[in-house]
Amino acid sequence: MKAGVSLVSIEGARANLEHDIPDWDFDRVRLAARQLWADVLDGEAIDRAWLTHEELTGGGILKFTMGPRPNKAWASAAEARPPSPN
């Protein structure tokens, strides 16, 4: 499956879809993803399983790259936990 996302419009989602993987080949993408597991926000790797309000509303490109099995070490450090409002 290939999906494009835009918080602005359907046309924007279609444009993002073509921009991110223009030469779509499921098997090629699947094989490449087997070796990777990362999240990148505007080109910067993030090692946490949450985003700040500013990151969500500020715009940008968030890319998820997943492998065939969970990476249990990713975002497992104490500093990767979501903040608590205490």
CB 14 within 8 A of CB 30: no
pTM for this prediction: 0.44
pLDDT value of position 38: 64
> To which residue do tokens 């070490």 refer?
73
Strand pairing partners for 65?
38
Those residues of the chain that have pLDDT short of 70 are: 1, 30-38, 86
Looking at residue 64, its pLDDT comes to 78
Q: Tell me, what's the pLDDT at 31?
A: 65
70 residue type, one letter: P
pLDDT at 30: 67
Domain boundaries, the chain: 1-32, 34-72
Residue 11 Cα distances to 4, 15, 33, 42, 64, angstroms: 10, 6, 27, 21, 21
